[in-house]
Amino acid sequence: MRPPAAPLRRKLIAGGCTLLLLPLVPGLARAATIVAVRTWPADEYTRVTLEMDTELKAEHFTLDSPHRLVVDIEGVQLSTAINDLVSKIRPNDPYISAVRVGQNRPNVVRLVFDLKQDVAPQVFTLKPIGEYKYRLVLDLYPKIAQDPLMALLKDTENDPLAGILESLAQGGPSEAPIPSVEGQKLPPTARKPPEGAPPPPPRTAPGPRPGRPILVALDPGHGGEDPGAIGKRGTREKDIVLQIALRLKKLIDAQPGMRAYLTRDRDYFVPLNVRVQKARRVQADLFISIHADAWIKPTARGSSVWALSQHGATSSAARWLAKKENDADLIGGVNLGAHNAQVAKVLLDLSTGAQINDSIRVGTQVLKEIGKINKLHKNRIERAGFAVLKAPDIPSILIETAFISNPQEEQLLRTPAHQQRIAHAVLSGIQDYFSAHPALARRG
């Protein structure tokens, strides 16, 4: 029988620490085997994942002076795999400076993370899914979460548009001239009603506010624990779409009066609802989620562009694809215990007819341009219930750049030249849309 945990808890509480006890797994007898250890450092948070062949119990607490995170894992012994965690901590990790591993007591391994700053950790377990076995996940968030808009400001240092974005962050007006697209002036938005007057009814706003660039949110799909589709040569969707998004961002940022924002700029996992929240927080005028399709038969090929459907998918294949993409949270790993209510709220179908109509318009322009550089899977916009397209006030499309499961298209996706062609095609579609439809669908 293991000694009672009460004295340990009293000691931790007296020291001002926090403690989380994950549910005990009945019948846990033999020592579990750690099959893999992975780390995913990012500015927003660092994730450490321990994959094992059986579910485990873990306790964690934090210590100050200096900041440390202590995790006790019951039911394991020291092994090569868990010792490998020490070498996986990277010098540029914004949260972890080092980690120490030891056998704290029989059948309990202790991990001590030396931290670079105070963190708000989340520790949770995930059931087996796909290629993964049981996972113990340690998410190290900063005590004060990073604001996407401030990240955008940081990205625009030494940029003439930085002042515009800073004004937006502070909620104030800007006196800068109205940006133009392809030489066309964009109309200013309507004035605010007098103080005390009732707000106007929801309507389609006439366009970006004066003095701010057109802001395009680029969303490279998957990331971190979620590789997305994997081609025959081992090409991972998450890597390809990030490269395309980075190239597209560079092209957009080079256009006068336009700027791009990435929902992720490195290899880490972003939950679907957070991707939508980020785009809304920076008040994006357009949201583009970038993916690479896969199918059970390697002969399937071609690019496609998708908009949201409020009334069911356009085909059984569309339903299958939407489910696959919406399952990204299960594979990437979301702490439903902490965020279940929030996730459920955000993923409600909040989209409006105006948003969907504008999504179809911009999607049509993008599809036409992509059709010039690659075969199209369908010659029209397809629709399905993608969770990531459910921002109620931002035209949103999802691009399946090609079938990574098709050997020929996988090879194309791997080449920088084809990635650049895709980025150019998407930019051309965006520019065509804003030239033909300068009035954006934005709620008041």
pLDDT tens for each residue of 49-87: 999 999 888 999 999 999 999 999 998 888 888 888 999
Check residues 148 and 144 and name the one with the higher pLDDT.
144
- For 418-439, what is each residue's pLDDT tens digit? 999 999 999 999 999 998 876 5
Residue 374 DSSP symbol: S
Question: Whole-angstrom Cα distance, residue 315 to residue 301?
Answer: 17
Beta strands in 273-423 (DSSP E): 286-293, 304-308, 382-384, 396-403
pLDDT in tens, 379-418: 999 998 898 998 888 999 999 999 999 999 999 999 999 9
Tokens found for residue 423 = 């980025």
119-126, strands of its sheet edge to edge: 34-40, 46-52, 134-142, 119-126
Whether the bond between 66 and the residue before it is cis, its omega within 30 degrees of 0, is yes
CA-to-CA distance for 193 and 195, rounded, in angstroms? Answer: 6
| Least confident span in 211-215, 232-236, 310-314, 353-357 | 310-314
Residues 6+ apart with CB under 8 A from 188: 178, 206, 207, 209, 210
Domains along the chain?
6-142 (2.60.40.3500), 180-436 (3.40.630.40)
pLDDT at 10: 38
Strands laid side by side in the 258-262 sheet: 258-262, 214-220, 286-293, 396-403, 304-308, 382-384
Residue pLDDT, tens place only, 241-300: 999 999 999 999 999 989 999 999 999 999 998 999 999 999 999 999 999 988 889 999
Query: What's the distance, CA 41 to chain centroid?
Result: 14
Residue 176: pLDDT band (50, 70, 90) is very low
What's the CA gap between 19 and 129, in Å, rounded?
Answer: 28
Global pTM reads: 0.78
